[in-house]
Structure 1
Amino acid sequence: MDQPSAFYTQVDEHEFESTTATSSPWDESLQHGGPPAALLAHVIEQTPGGGPGGIARITVDMLGGIPQGRMRATSRVVRPGRRVELVEASLSVGDRVAVSATAWRIVTSPDATRAQAAPALELPPLPDEQPQEFFPGTSPEWGYGRAVDWRFVEGGYAAPGPAALWARVRIPLVAGLETSPVGRLLVVADSANGLSGELPLAEWLFIPPTLSVTVLREPAEEWLWFDARSTIGPHGRGLAQATLADRQGLVAAVAQPLLVAPR
């Protein structure tokens, strides 16, 4: 199967059409959470505001399954400011809001804290290209899975438990547009749960209704280091966490609460 050229095509100023590159591993009629999260970041980045602030924290709420097809985007500045502002955005399918987000944008001052910044990280080398193996029972043609180059150092989609890997988005978020660094980050951030599930997926459900990503800085490189783990609590809830980095240092922290239940 040919890979789509992007996750979305832009229909008009406010409408986007999903492609099969957004597809969920469990239901091709639905979207994986990563591309819609990145599309909301794109919409927020395009929203005029009071200062040249980049996204410092974005929380994405998935209000049920996100259908494939045409989505209408809206956004507004909730709390304006010259240095810190809050923006909200949503994607609607028909008359239903399918996914929404709030984001704090904080003004950046190039090199203002360079001397105080944390040092670069020593990370494992990028492995050679690997066979792309997904969840047990998932088609090797899984659209979202094939749209990202996954190179595992520890763990894997088929191996329960923590995972450490390099990831690179293969295609643009929106056809004809360059994907922003934060957009590339958001495409993969929602995979923290799927990459690090602690229990067999054939027997257990892990449902993350929301995703929160705190961004220290924009990624400086195409490849992102992804270190993910999940913790199961005693009362049917769990927590998926991940750190994302490049060779210059930490980029972002990811957190997802989970509903954990037998199938």
Structure 2
Amino acid sequence: MSYFERTGPNTYRATHHVGGAWATNEQHIAPALGLMTHAVELDRDDRRDDRLAVGRLSYDILGTIPIDEVEVRVAVLRPGRTIELVEAVLAHDDRAAVRLRAWLMQTRPTAALEGTSLARIAPPEEMEEWDPTSVWPGGFIESAQVRRRQMEPGRASYWVRTPLPLVAGEDVSAVAGAAGLLDIANGMTVRAHPKDIAFPNVDLTAHFFAEPRGEWLGFDTTVSFGATGLGLTSSVIHDVHGPIGTASQVLTVRPS
């Protein structure tokens, strides 16, 4: 079992485990974002041997994707010895569905400077198990294991992990694995029930100052709705050692 199976050099077939939350016959975008990061890292390692680190992932979601075969193409937009800007495009039936721009950056020994004022969240073992299928349908949500501490509607800290590999039979980095979970943030602490209000995100941007370690990915999330149909889901991203970055998703808020 996995989210995707490779069918060619640049093509992958989605399994039913990517089934979406807004529509179960469409892909939940989260695994696809991880797949694109995996493709970027494979392309990087084919071209160079210094393993530039992923500093930023910025995705624009251009449309829905059926549970079917997709293609991912990668191109270097700004080559460099220590920093690169890389673009990946995920397409279905020759239609671009997601566009990613990733900054890849050289690592250096800065352990003596390590630190952040971002607040830590409680570890997974101190949070209660929570079943996200009580709010959302779909294969992806069903595959996720969640521990959550809810403060109020639209405000929670939680941990997420999945037992399923991103791509069958392939080694996937911790960053790509984490990227495949990031988009779950928009549904883990809703301000309004999705049966009453639709609030899909049209993008996701994540910044990392450390690579994730361990099987759990943590979130400290706040969801905000404005007065004119826009919204924002903002998260501080954690591993079990503490904060490692941030993620933001802009929302289109649509009352039924």
- Quick check: TM above 0.5? yes
The amino acid that maps onto 2:75 is R
Whether the 8 Å contact between 2:73 and 2:90 is mirrored in structure 1 is yes
Q: For the aligned residues, what is the CA RMSD?
A: 2.0
User: How does 1:87-126 map onto structure 2 within 5 Å?
Assistant: 87-109=86-108, 112-118=109-115, 123-126=121-124
| Structure with the larger helix share | 2
TM-score, normalisation: structure 2: 0.91
Query: In the aligned structure 2, how far is the partner of 1:165 from the partner of 1:68?
Result: 28
**Equivalent residue number for residue 38 of structure 2:** 42
Whether the 8 Å contact between 1:241 and 1:254 is mirrored in structure 2 is yes
Change (3 A) 1:91 1:176: same
Q: Once the 2 structures are TM-superposed, how far is the Cα of residue 66 of structure 1 from its aligned partner? A: 1.4
Say whether residues 1:193 and 2:186 are aligned partners: yes
Whether the 8 Å contact between 2:59 and 2:205 is mirrored in structure 1 is yes
Instruction: Give the unaligned 5+ runs of structure 2.
Output: none
* Deviation sequence 1:168-200 (CA, Å, 0-9, x none): 121110000122111121121112211233223
**Equivalent residue number for residue 239 of structure 1:** 232
Change (3 A) 1:131 1:262: closer
The amino acid that maps onto 1:37 is L
**Equivalent residue number for residue 133 of structure 2:** 134
Whether the 8 Å contact between 2:120 and 2:243 is mirrored in structure 1 is no
Instruction: Give the unaligned 5+ runs of structure 1.
Output: none
Whether the 8 Å contact between 2:154 and 2:224 is mirrored in structure 1 is no
Q: Which moved more, 1:213-222 or 1:189-198?
A: 189-198
- 1:257 aligned to which of 247, 250, 253: 250
**Equivalent residue number for residue 51 of structure 2:** 52
Q: Which moved more, 1:247-256 or 1:81-90?
A: 247-256
Change (3 A) 1:199 1:122: closer
- 2:209 aligned to which of 201, 206, 216: 216
SS at match of 1:130: strand
Whether the 8 Å contact between 1:164 and 1:226 is mirrored in structure 2 is yes
Change (3 A) 1:192 1:133: closer
Percent identity among equivalent residues? Answer: 29
**Equivalent residue number for residue 173 of structure 1:** 166
Alignment length, in residue pairs?
251
Whether the 8 Å contact between 2:128 and 2:149 is mirrored in structure 1 is no
Q: Which moved more, 1:50-59 or 1:82-91?
A: 50-59
Query: In the aligned structure 2, how far is the partner of 1:196 from the partner of 1:116?
Result: 34
Change (3 A) 1:262 1:122: closer
The amino acid that maps onto 2:25 is S
**Equivalent residue number for residue 139 of structure 2:** 143
Query: In the aligned structure 2, how far is the partner of 1:122 from the partner of 1:195?
Result: 18
The amino acid that maps onto 1:94 is D
Q: Once the 2 structures are TM-superposed, how far is the Cα of residue 135 of structure 1 from its aligned partner? A: 4.6
